[in-house]
A and B are shown apart, each in its own frame.
Chain A
Amino acid sequence: QTVVTQEPSFSVSPGGTVTLTCGLTSGSVSSNHYPSWYQQTPGQTPRRLIYSTHYHSSGVPDRFSGSILGNKAALTITGVQAEDESDYFCMLFMGSGNWVFGGGTKLTVL
């Protein structure tokens, strides 16, 4: 069974740039997987940041951007702020009515 992979954790300094990735244990991620990204802060409901690879959800700051980098989907945060410290999840559409979340990346802003 194919698993969606993410870095378990990442640290970044305020003002810095970080790229989180979303891959597959078998095969490459493409736009046909409709990658989406969600931010979840402890005690809060998940919030959609990016959908269909690179489209912004309403109200999401421009410092968040999505792309395909090589064989993975990527979420880049430019000019990281303290409030960006959260868990980030990607989700892929695997076809046949099957959506799979990655294990999530815990982002720490030092």
Chain B
Amino acid sequence: QVQLQASGPGLVRASETLSRTCSVSGVSISSDYYWAWIRRPPGKGLEWIGSVHHSGSAFYNPSLKGRVSLSIETTRHEFSLRLSSVTAADTALYYCARLVPAAHSYDRWGQGALVTVSS
């Protein structure tokens, strides 16, 4: 059974870097999927942050203006998110998810975690 389990601090100071890690089990992280981060700010909708492949290929939401970086560590079966220079607008529920390339959709999601940016 495919499972995604995210971890990381739930509170980040403004201007610092938000970091999250997602551990993958039940499937090889080196399979032909993209691994993604998606967030949902309070009272708003879902926002795709970025997606990364074990080959090193990565795509990012243009609206995040170069603040985001994704990495993948195949030996630890995990992938990570770093979002720099955070502001209150980055407060959100953060989800990790699996993208099926042929279907361009997310079929497995990890449990969301609230990350709050404090001033």
Inter-chain contact B109/A45, CB cutoff 8 Å:
yes
Residues from chain A with Cβ under 8 Å of B104 in the complex: 34, 36, 51-52, 93, 99
Inter-chain contact B51/A45, CB cutoff 8 Å:
no
Given contacts A91-B48, A100-B48, contact A45 B105 (CB under 8 A): no
Main secondary structure of the interface of B (DSSP, over half): strand
Assess whether A13 is interfacial by the CB under 8 Å rule: no
Assess whether B103 is interfacial by the CB under 8 Å rule: yes
Interface size class, chain B? 20 to 34
Residues from chain B with Cβ under 8 Å of A91 in the complex: 46, 48, 105-106
Closest chain B residue to A87, Cβ basis:
B45
Inter-chain contact B105/A46, CB cutoff 8 Å:
no
Residues from chain B with Cβ under 8 Å of A101 in the complex: 38, 45-48
Inter-chain contact A57/B110, CB cutoff 8 Å:
no
The proximity string for A residues 30-56 relative to B, scoring 1 for CB distances below 8 Å and 0 otherwise, is 000010101010000111100110010
Q: A45-B110, A52-B103, A89-B45 are in contact. List 8 more A-B contacts (CB 8 A).
A: A34-B104, A36-B105, A48-B106, A51-B105, A52-B104, A91-B106, A99-B51, A101-B48
A-B contact pairs, 21 of them (CB 8 A): A38-B46, A40-B40, A45-B111, A45-B112, A46-B38, A46-B95, A46-B106, A48-B105, A48-B107, A51-B103, A51-B107, A52-B105, A55-B103, A89-B45, A91-B106, A93-B104, A97-B51, A101-B48, A103-B45, A104-B45, A104-B46
